[in-house]
Amino acid sequence: MGSFLFNTVSFIVAISVLVAVHEYGHYIVGRWTGMKVLRFSIGFGKPIWSRVAGPDQTEYCVSAIPLGGYVRFLDSREGPVDAVDEGRAFNQRPIWARIAVLVAGPAFNFIFAIFAYWALFVYGVPTVTAAVGEVAAGSYAEAAGLETGDRIVAVDGETTRDWESTLVAMLGTMVDDGRIPLTLEDNSGRQRNALLNVGDNANRLTEPGMLFDGLGFQPWRSTDAAAIVGEVSDDSAATRAGLLPGDKITAIDGEPIGRFYDLVNVVSTRADKQVAVEFERGGRVLTVDTILGSTERDGKSHGLLGVTAAVSASDYYYLRKYGLLESVGQAAERTWSTTMFTLSMLGRMLTGDVSIKNISGPINIAQFAGESAENGLDYYLGFLAIVSISLGVLNLLPVPVLDGGQIVYQLVELAKGSPLSERAQVMGQQVGIFALLILMSFAFYNDIARMICC
């Protein structure tokens, strides 16, 4: 119940903030271009709070249904206009002014995203290097020769800096022809090329949560570090065994060791016991006996070999941070790339190259909102930026009930010299509502399917 309530509150806060930003764009540009604003509402339905203010006596209100909002302009099509307000109605202003007002809502969503990313880059964004973790046997990744610890430095010749840019590039190339050309770099700095070829499975792998499982590898985690010795503690079991930096431990008492995480788990259960340590050095496999040390933790005694991993988490995690001015450019670049990726994925959904299961409804968005809020303000701000970009893109689509569709109406009027007929506009509205209902049906279906499956 607590999680549901937290998710709901996080979702309402997110939607309220982003809708306020979007509608403020319409509102402020409408005022700048001489239009009279009758109402500015956050939410739909009956107002639960309102205030009338300003020279135009605009009503500012918060309404009962927190799933949107609107700005109501004076419009002569809805009734007679007082002589004092003649020329200030939305439909009486020049076409350029109307288009500016319609564009302003999505534009403010993009501006908000730039501001959010700017704040994140100034503060510092925890970034994960795109590196390969555990590789599944018999998978596409194994067939391509991917190994744990490999860093992905380029996708199809495009340099990538982190998992976000890497995933965008991987998805983009995969849906084209089912092939993902990678440039990999191992821990020694040596680079090589690899090719993930998923063939006709590309569409299936675009479903939420399917990419890594389908390709057969997971992103690198600190537990994926190889059991290669980095440093050897003085007067430790490792010192007595003669272990040296660079030795690769392959077994303890005959129990295979693949990762440093495995080594810690096996050694931990053998406090103060003699063990046989098998390791590789210079192409030779050696075995030596040593008595493990021990350390107290959580009231229990744990075995201690006395080595550190040659590769640590700090080699794969870093803080991406820029100065005040440099962050502006980085934020604009991130907003642009995310916008283009969103448009690309929407287009590929229409062509069937990308699964429509990626369409999320309010239930799934609420879960993301709650999870990001739990992880901290920086994660929540990043979530708001992504959703704000999505709102901006969706509202610019040429669907009559959205800003993009209304912009098309204005352009048609500009071209033909007169407004579309009332009948044509009504038909357009009906088509737009039908399209949105289909989209919402897919979104709710996907949300429910995720809840049932998970």
Tell me: the pLDDT tens digits for 415-452? 888 887 777 777 776 676 666 666 666 455 444 545 55
Q: Which are the contacts of 111, defined by CB distance < 8 A and separation ≥ 6?
A: none
Q: Domain range for residue 238? A: 229-310
Concatenated DSSP letters for 36-55?
Answer: PEEEEEEEEEEEEEEEEETT
Q: Which are the contacts of 283, defined by CB distance < 8 A and separation ≥ 6?
A: none
To which residue do tokens 């200030």 refer? Answer: 88
User: Taking Cα atoms as reference points, which of 402, 384, 306, 389 lies closest to residue 345?
Assistant: 389
Concatenated DSSP letters for 227-250?
Answer: SBEEEE-TTSHHHHHT--TT-EEE
pTM: 0.77
Q: Which are the contacts of 222, defined by CB distance < 8 A and separation ≥ 6?
A: 261, 312, 313, 316
78 is catalytic: no
Helix axes 422-453, 403-416, angle to 10 degrees: 160
CATH for 249: 2.30.42.10
CA 382, CA 345: separation in Å to the nearest integer? 19
User: Quick check: is 47 in a domain?
Assistant: no
Concatenated DSSP letters for 178-208?
Answer: SEEEEEEE-TTS-EEEEEEE-GGGHHHHTST
User: Quick check: is 244 in a domain?
Assistant: yes
pLDDT in tens, the chain (454 residues): 447 778 778 888 888 889 999 999 999 999 999 999 999 999 888 889 999 998 899 999 999 888 788 999 999 888 888 888 899 999 999 999 999 999 999 999 999 999 999 999 998 887 778 888 888 899 999 999 998 888 899 999 888 878 888 888 888 888 888 899 999 998 778 999 999 999 888 888 888 778 888 899 888 876 677 788 888 998 899 999 999 998 999 999 999 998 888 898 899 999 999 999 999 998 899 999 999 998 887 778 899 999 988 876 666 777 788 899 999 999 999 999 889 888 888 887 777 777 666 665 555 555 656 666 666 778 888 889 988 998 898 889 888 888 998 999 899 888 888 887 777 777 776 676 666 666 666 455 444 545 555 5
Q: Which are the contacts of 92, defined by CB distance < 8 A and separation ≥ 6?
A: 76, 81, 86
CA 246, CA 263: separation in Å to the nearest integer? 15
User: Taking Cα atoms as reference points, which of 275, 261, 272, 277 lies closest to residue 300?
Assistant: 272
User: Quick check: is 277 in a domain?
Assistant: yes
Domain count, the chain: 1
Question: Per residue in 107-122, pLDDT tens?
Answer: 999 999 999 999 999 9
User: Quick check: is 129 in a domain?
Assistant: no
Helices (H) and strands (E) in the chain, counts: 13, 18
